[in-house]
Amino acid sequence: MQAPIDQILLRFFYRANESMSYGESVFIGDNLESDYNMLDFANTYSLPFSFPLKFAFTSALLCKEGSVRTIINSNEFIVGRNDVLVVQGGSIVEMISSSADIRVIGMAFEDSGSDDNLGASAINVGSYIMHRSVPLLIHLDDDEMQRHIELYKSVHKFYMSTDSAYRGEIVKGYLQVATGAFLSVMKKNSFGNDEGFDNGREHELYIQFMDDLQLFAGKERTVSFYADRCCVSPKYFSKMIHRASGKTPLQLIRERVIIEAKVLLNSTDMSIQQIADALNFPNDSFFCRYFRQEVQMTPMRYREEYATIR
């Protein structure tokens, strides 16, 4: 089970009844002017999440003040003043914490893109990230961030004073303007050309492998499958992945599968057999052995100790 928009972002913002939304496809909220501080994510006022959790949506976080520390897809990110973090759906978040003075705007969008009324440029924000597995973190200057904040506040006032039947139009307009401005910043800073990555062949294969793992680890656990997707031999693929990461492809596959299993154990009431089936294991016994080898406890013991849903 993936964490839906209306569960995860409501835990960020105390003023949930004043947040902007468009059906169940979009949620936009903030804590810019409230006394509520977004403290440790797991200790917010509503029912806690148990990490790791999996995003079912693309999300963006604009940080006006303070800082957020998070681990996403096994990589740590520090989001500070004037930073913007964009994370694609399917990403696994292992922890979130923040400073007491955090002030942010948060947005979440369903990944399906099925609602054409929102416009492709708005709803498919995630499509502008070069790599699905690598969240995009960019820094705005003071003027750029101030313009985004002023835009948001102005639109929010219109939204709150508009009849609920027409609020969707306000959200659509805001998303189109904000997305255009955001893409302009990305272009100015030359994002989208893999700047910041070592462009050697081993890193190219490694990033593609990470992207593919995010999409297929729940079903595919063989090195040959991922090598075939990169159009190289398993031997060459393994050599390049180890050179780039210090780990073998099989190690990385196992790490991702275990995280996927933990998500299901933590956040669903699925039986062990159902989880084994969902992750394409031949039976629950095989899954339990696989899990125990990596975690040093059985899936059931892990669920008893860490799961939110029991």
pLDDT of residue 147: 93
Nearest residue to 70 via CA among 86, 56, 46? 86
Residue 195 included in any domain: no
Whether pLDDT at 285 is above 90: yes
pTM of the shown model: 0.76
Residue 196 included in any domain: no
Residue 193 included in any domain: no
pLDDT of residue 75: 85
SS (H, E, C) 201-212: HHHHHHHHHHHH
186 — pLDDT class (breaks 50, 70, 90): confident
Q: Which domain holds residue 65?
A: 5-188
Tell me: do 142 and 18 sit in the same domain.
yes
Highest mean pLDDT among 18-22, 161-165, 263-267: 161-165
Residue 171 included in any domain: yes
Exposure string over 205-244, b if 16+ CB within 10 A, otherwise e = bbbbbbbbbbebbbebbebeebbebbebeeeebbbbbbeb
Residue 294 included in any domain: yes
| Bridge partner residues of 137 (DSSP) | 85
Q: What is the largest CA-CA distance in the chain?
A: 62
* CATH number (domain holding residue 68): 2.60.120.280
Residue 91 included in any domain: yes
Structurally, how many domains does the chain consist of?
2
Tell me: do 223 and 285 sit in the same domain.
yes
Residue 108 included in any domain: yes
199 — pLDDT class (breaks 50, 70, 90): low
Tell me: do 221 and 140 sit in the same domain.
no
Taking only the tens place, the pLDDT of each residue in 200-244 is: 888 889 989 998 998 899 999 999 999 999 999 999 999 999 999
Tell me: do 161 and 210 sit in the same domain.
no
